[in-house]
Structure 1
Amino acid sequence: MAFGRSPGRVGGLPREAFRPSALFLGILAAFVISGWLTWTGFGDPGIDVFLFVVTGWTVSLCLHEYAHALVAFKGGDHDVAHRGYLTLDPLKYAHPLLSIVLPVVFLLIGGIGLPGGAVWVNHAAIRSRFMDSLISFVGPATNMVLAVVLVLPFALGLDNGGDPAFWAGLAFLAFLQLTASILNFVPMPGVDGGNLLFPWLSPQWQRGFNHVAPYGMLLLIALLWSPVINDWFFTVVLGIGDVIGLPDSLVGRGLGLFRFWS
């Protein structure tokens, strides 16, 4: 005998586990409103750009972590839905240091985007090594896709209307997506790029990986303080930006407007 699905459940889970949270929708609305304020030149352009970039960055962080969770769910770990990761709620991805302190500090002093969320995946439930790697891949890939989408108006010559501050803010937001994607693709333990390789390592290498992983992001940040590595990193970011059509002059202006207090 076949039974119909309960109207209030999806795959045995309540529909609320898959609905965008009110907090995410509120942040998305704030992004749209601040974008309109920046476009029309209403109010102080620095504050407008600051709100536009911060809310846009938060939306992208949620999408980055949602991509991890969605592929994990498809790969066999249904606990991600129980944990609320498929609701796009930024509080579900929060880690006090990595999610709040470090991303804000780097935005304010360096203009580097650090996706700081955390999605805890039960890797034992994932059906294959390919899916396990794909879980790590889709997060930074989401940032790269967002960067391309944000750059499209510049590449297509559509950046004519609206206040110039809007386009500067949009360019800076696209730049942040690029930095986040490139940083997360670095093959270092504790970073998405390293986690992508983890399923294919030998047990001995996996044990060593697990010892380093808790400090991976902090080590990566420390390396960026080196002038040589920092110059190399930004050369790579701006080089990719040139390829996809990101105007670096507008990135600099966007950063200046974002830091309206300086």
Structure 2
Amino acid sequence: MTELSTIQYIAVWVLPVLFAVTVHEVAHGWVALQLGDHTAQSMGRLTLNPLQHIDPVGTLIVPGILLFLGGIAFGWAKPVPVSWDRLRRPKQDMAIVAIAGPIANLIMAILWALITRLGMSVTESLPILGIPLAYMGTAGVFINTILMIVNLVPLPPLDGGRVLVGLLPNSLAYRVSRIEPYGILLLLVLLLTGTLWFILWPLVSQFVSILVSLVGIPEWEFTRGLAALLGSH
């Protein structure tokens, strides 16, 4: 695949990133609705309209800084509100609501992998369609894998932290939940210093390798496309 200009690079990443963070949040709200909490629905947050989910810091500022510093496009949307006291079994159901986001990213990663395969298969016969699809699918696999794995870190307010709180005995759950006000600051420090990638990159790499193999994409071809994406800006 060819090297991308800055405009092409942004165009390729925009849809995968917006879908990744938007569907992630909608999944939380939809599962909460099934478990008895109508808060997200009543606030109009069960929509795929990204304008309803944009967080100035997570959707705009952090990804912009990372791209400016030569990093990876990464961000998050405004959290969908969940009223735990409206859930049928608040403690256990909050864990189910939390895990819904990473599961949504898993499903999207699989769908984007299939789009990547489609794009690669038609690149020679129809490059004007195949190349953008292959690049966009590659970006979708990558960003959704990152969001899934990062959110599974057992650190409140990440989804993994809330799942952990839901599984622990009440006394331990209370202690872990008290970390939440400081969790996002710790996450940003780990992210901006590169420590987070150092810890999680082996998991991201292994998952992507397994996924592309399962859908029939040659790993070397996917890796070449991803390297072009990450190195073209």
The answer to whether TM tops 0.5 is: yes
Between the aligned partners of 1:49 and 1:177, the Cα distance in structure 2 is: 17
Task: Report what 2:156 is aligned to.
Answer: 189
Tell me if the contact between 1:188 and 1:216 (Cα under 8 Å) persists in the aligned partners: yes
Task: Report what 2:172 is aligned to.
Answer: 205
Between the aligned partners of 1:216 and 1:148, the Cα distance in structure 2 is: 29
TM-score (normalizing by structure 2) = 0.80
The residue type paired with residue 148 of structure 1 is: I
The residue type paired with residue 116 of structure 1 is: A
Alpha carbons of structure 1 residues 205 and 101: separation in structure 2 relative to 1, 3 Å? farther
Between the aligned partners of 1:185 and 1:218, the Cα distance in structure 2 is: 17
TM-score (normalizing by structure 1) = 0.72
Which one of the candidate residues 67, 73, 93 is aligned to 1:131? 93
TM-superposition CA deviations, 1:201-250 (whole Å, max 9, x none): 33333333333112213312323455665334222211111111162221
Alpha carbons of structure 1 residues 243 and 179: separation in structure 2 relative to 1, 3 Å? same
Matched, 1:234 2:194: no
Alpha carbons of structure 1 residues 215 and 207: separation in structure 2 relative to 1, 3 Å? same
Instruction: Name stretches of at least 5 consecutive residues in structure 2 with no aligned partner.
Output: 213-218
Displacement of 1:133 in angstroms is 1.3
Task: Report what 2:215 is aligned to.
Answer: none
Which one of the candidate residues 125, 142, 158 is aligned to 2:104? 142
Alignment of 1:93-108 (within 5 A): 93-108=53-68
CA RMSD of aligned residues (A): 2.8
Alpha carbons of structure 1 residues 107 and 207: separation in structure 2 relative to 1, 3 Å? farther
Between the aligned partners of 2:196 and 2:21, the Cα distance in structure 1 is: 25
Task: Report what 1:244 is aligned to.
Answer: 211
Instruction: Name stretches of at least 5 consecutive residues in structure 1 with no aligned partner.
Output: 1-40
Displacement of 1:114 in angstroms is 2.9
Which one of the candidate residues 39, 45, 51 is aligned to 1:79? 39
Stretch moving more, 235-244 or 199-208: 199-208
Q: Point out the structure with max Rg over C-alpha.
A: 1
Which one of the candidate residues 171, 177, 180 is aligned to 2:147? 180
The residue type paired with residue 62 of structure 2 is: L
